[in-house]
Amino acid sequence: MGKPRFRPVFTPIGAALLVLALVILARSLYARNSYEMLISCVVLLIMLILGLAGWRRARKLTLLEPGWKPPFPMTANAGEETLITGLGSPLPFFFRLHFVVRGKFSPNSGAACPMFAETSVSRGEETARLEMDFPMSGIFQGRGYCKLRDIFGLYSFPCGITLQRTINVRSAPCFGKKTPINAQSGAEDRKTKTSTNEERFYMREYTPGDRLRDINWKSSDKIDALITRISPDNQEKVSRIEIYFRNYGPEMPSLEALWLLDRAKARLSYFLRSLMDENSSFIFSIHFAVNSGANSDWEVEDSEDLEDFLEVLAGLSFVPPKNEGIVSAGTGDMYVFSTACDKGLPGFLLASHPRPVSLFIVQPKRQIVNKELKKEGDKNKTLKRPDHETLYKRSFPAKGCALLPRWLSKTKINPMNVDAYRIERIYAETKL
């Protein structure tokens, strides 16, 4: 946090009006036109009064610290509003407090587009709602600050403390088919056995739900707390699921490629959430690539671990292809999430043999030629698949994000033909 840097107090309209009034005043003095002189003097007097009132109040609001707490988690295309608090300071007539957010939104490292959002608080109110939304997943880094503006749009006085924020934006949710799971059952025990075989029971503090007959009353008497016996034969088995998220792709990806990666993130998120809701004993071992070029591993055991991983997943970008190491040894199923930009995917699948691989791959939009239309001789007509997801480029400016010039042109990405034990294809496209 810090104080706002210097910004001009005149808006473009206010600067234009000031110049115009001064020009008219100079012309009226030269031509001795009392009517124009009166008009220009009245305009300049009004601007002077408004400027002094705004400047004095802005100085008193130097230490104003608004409350800016974005919703957690921040999800793309969710249409959520951010509540801005602490804006209830008394203001001069004809003035309103505005809260402005500026920054950079990065769907991929090295590709950041400017982002802008603004809201104002009604007179007499202490809170305002800021519409801050994003078209896809990524990382937003920006600052929020207050401005004191008059209702005529002539002045804009910066005031208060500038707030810095870094926000991970998660992918908009998607829904897929239920996936049959063949986890490596009994891969490990959730509890560790005692080192001596003479002990028949573990001891721990009583928790609601324990059976009364398991309470060790003698030990409980000594320490004045209820102690429960647990048999070591009742170890809870867990099932481990191995997942590879292959975020390999071009170093300077097109918007089409970024959208494929976004949909792969969304499908992985849905996969993890649905399985954890189905069976809380699952442990997920997730492998992915990071910008340094190395592989990273993440273990998800509970809902808290899952939320932490989804925050990391939101900021993952494409990593250039590299020579990969040997696939981890094991006999259970592997679950692989990838895109058509992953040129090393065929080699990875080959190296994984003979382990069963369930592949979730996001491909460019596919068109299916209707056989009935072919029979009628109309070979030009096609039917679009109903299960593809579309990103509209016009949603960027609609949500306050500027499109990078290179994103305006359409880039063709060829579908990838790969073979696996089980394949689910997700189709995605971009439109203007």
More reliable by pLDDT, 118 or 388? 118
Kindly report the pTM of this predicted structure. 0.76
- pLDDT recorded at residue 258: 92
Query: Distance between CA 247 and CA 337 in Å, rounded?
Result: 8
CATH number of 67-170: 2.60.40
More reliable by pLDDT, 255 or 235? 255
Query: Distance between CA 272 and CA 274 in Å, rounded?
Result: 6
Phi, psi of 308 (to 5 degrees): -65, -40
- pLDDT recorded at residue 210: 62
Give pLDDT tens digits for 301-347. Answer: 888 889 999 999 998 888 888 766 556 656 678 899 999 998 888 88
- pLDDT recorded at residue 208: 60
16: which 2 tokens?
């234009």
User: Are 364 and 429 spatial neighbours (Cβ–Cβ below 8 Å)?
Assistant: yes
158: which 2 tokens?
């910066």
- pLDDT recorded at residue 198: 37
Q: What is the dihedral of CA 399, 402, 407, 409, to 10 degrees?
A: 90
Residue 266 reports pLDDT greater than 90:
yes
- pLDDT recorded at residue 379: 42
DSSP character string of 23-35: HHHHHHHHHT-HH
- pLDDT recorded at residue 137: 92
User: Are 176 and 267 spatial neighbours (Cβ–Cβ below 8 Å)?
Assistant: yes
Beta bridge partners of 248: 319
Q: How many C-beta atoms surround the C-beta of residue 32 within 10 A? A: 8
Residue 382 reports pLDDT greater than 80:
no
Give the pairing type, strands 383-384 and 422-431: unpaired
DSSP character string of 66-114: -EE---SSEETT---EEEEE-------TTEEEEEEEEEEEEEETTEEEE
- pLDDT recorded at residue 331: 66
- pLDDT recorded at residue 194: 41
Please count the CA atoms within 13 angstroms of the CA of 61 that sit on its side-chain side.
29
- pLDDT recorded at residue 326: 56
Burial class (CB in 10 A: 0-12, 13-18, 19+), 421: middle
**pLDDT category of residue 98 using cuts at 50, 70 and 90:** very high
What is the percent of the chain with per-residue pLDDT over 70, rounded to a whole number?
80
Contacts with 168 (C-beta within 8 Å, 6 or more apart), sequence order: 73, 74, 139, 311, 312, 314, 315
- pLDDT recorded at residue 174: 85
**pLDDT category of residue 238 using cuts at 50, 70 and 90:** low
Give pLDDT tens digits for 108-158. Answer: 877 889 999 999 988 888 899 999 999 999 999 999 999 999 999 999 999
- pLDDT recorded at residue 355: 83
Q: How far is CA 207 from the centre of its chain?
A: 38
Q: Which CA distances in Å does 312 have to 49, 82, 306, 316?
A: 52, 22, 10, 7
Looking at residues 33-53, what average pLDDT do you find? 93
Looking at residues 345-374, what average pLDDT do you find? 75
